[in-house]
Amino acid sequence: MKLTPEQEEEIAAERGASRPTRRATVPALEEILYEVMPVLDHGFVRVVDYMGDDGAIVQAARVSYGRGTRRVSEDRGLINYLMRHRHTTPFEMCEIKYHVKLPIFVARQWIRHRTANVNEYSARYSILDNEFYIPAPENLAAQASVNRQGRGDVLEGEAARHVLDLLRDDAERAYAGYAELLNEDETGAPRDPSWPGLARELARMNLSLNFYTQWYWKTDLHNLLHFLSLRADPHAQYEIRAYAEAMLDTVRRWVPLAHAAFLEYRMNAALISASGLVVVHRMLAGETVDQAASGLSPREWRELMAMLGRSE
């Protein structure tokens, strides 16, 4: 993980400053505010701003339900109720902003979540660093034979070494070509005075998707939890899941009651189809049900049995 000197100075200045405020603050999140949390080999996530806390969620809900009492146990019960019944608007009262450094291919997955404000590093204006993602050997896997967008067995031995060498050699060659096309030294002057170099917006074309980019990403808590429900899931691609898991820990610090409700009613819960629920009722009634008699497809049957902790 590499920060520019300017970023390090900015972080030191922000963490060294103290600002009096009347708004709600969260000590556990303040502890890590602006700090870099490493992700992958050169990436990071850091919280740079936030608004609201668990109290903002219940405050918004009580506009509808009445103020009532303000004991923590009742706040917890209300947040659990909101999460359980998918009353999402109160969670939108909290917002958070992250600074993220991530490989371009992860960014292209991430940007599909169109419920945030995003400002990305401009390679038309600035020069990208010579930093690219190389998977750790344990994350280097073959294509899955069943899941067309997943990984299968981990590569080992010579096959793994060959793939890693190929990834590294291609990235190094691509950056060397990028630098040659730019034809700029550290001051911006041409390295080769015989030609002006290519425009930055064109020179970036040959860089591979494992090079790192950066952005600021701001969203509300409801949409952040939706993002995390998909990207922190065990079925998500490892690289984006690594970022989601780091962000999930910031949610734990920021809104602990909402975080606990999210784990209880979303991340560690299960969604069963109407047909699947009928199968469960039949099994509870003592009936022996197999896939052929269930009315479920083989894949949904396997998923239901895994959900129930039963072998097929």
254 close to 30: Cβ distance less than 8 angstroms: no
Which domain CATH number covers 244? 3.30.1360.170
Residues 49 and 146 in one domain: no
pLDDT digits (tens, 9 = 90+) for 34-65: 999 999 999 999 999 999 999 999 999 987 55
Tell me how far apart the alpha carbons of residues 152 and 140 are, in angstroms, rounded to a whole number.
9
Residue 48 lies in a domain: yes
Residues 4 and 102 in one domain: yes
Catalytic site residue 67?
no
- Give the pLDDT score at 149: 67
Residue 11 lies in a domain: yes
178-to-165, 198, 211, 250 alpha-carbon distances in Å: 20, 9, 12, 36
Residues 104 and 217 in one domain: yes
Alpha carbon of residue 225 to chain centroid: 10
What would the mean pLDDT of 122-143 be, rounded to a whole number?
Answer: 88
Number of domain units in the chain: 3
Instruction: State what percent of residues in the chain have pLDDT above 70.
Output: 94
pLDDT digits (tens, 9 = 90+) for 240-253: 999 999 999 999 99
Tell me how far apart the alpha carbons of residues 47 and 253 are, in angstroms, rounded to a whole number.
11
Copy the structure tokens of residue 99.
């600074």
In the set 46, 200, 204, 231, the catalytic residue is 231
Query: How many beta carbons lie within 10 A of that of residue 251, not counting itself?
Result: 21
261 close to 221: Cβ distance less than 8 angstroms: no
Residues 5 and 82 in one domain: yes
Domain of residue 298, residue span? 274-308
CA neighbor of 241 nearest in space, from 132, 110, 126? 110
Residues 72 and 148 in one domain: no
Residues 78 and 108 in one domain: yes
Residues 233 and 279 in one domain: no
pLDDT digits (tens, 9 = 90+) for 242-300: 999 999 999 999 999 999 999 999 999 999 999 999 999 999 999 999 999 999 999 99
Residues 79 and 186 in one domain: no
Tell me how far apart the alpha carbons of residues 312 and 300 are, in angstroms, rounded to a whole number.
12
Tell me how far apart the alpha carbons of residues 237 and 213 are, in angstroms, rounded to a whole number.
18
Residues 216 and 202 in one domain: no
pLDDT(153) > 80: no
Residues 86 and 33 in one domain: yes
Tell me how far apart the alpha carbons of residues 121 and 214 are, in angstroms, rounded to a whole number.
5
Copy the structure tokens of residue 37.
């949390």
Residue 194 lies in a domain: yes
Residue 129 lies in a domain: no
pTM of this prediction?
Answer: 0.89
Residues 255 and 281 in one domain: no
pLDDT digits (tens, 9 = 90+) for 181-221: 998 877 778 888 888 888 889 999 999 999 999 999 999 99
Copy the structure tokens of residue 94.
């909290």
Q: Is 157 left (phi over 0), alpha (psi -120 to 50) or beta?
A: left
pLDDT(147) > 70: no
Residue 160 burial by Cβ neighbours in a 10 Å radius (0-12, 13-18, 19+):
middle
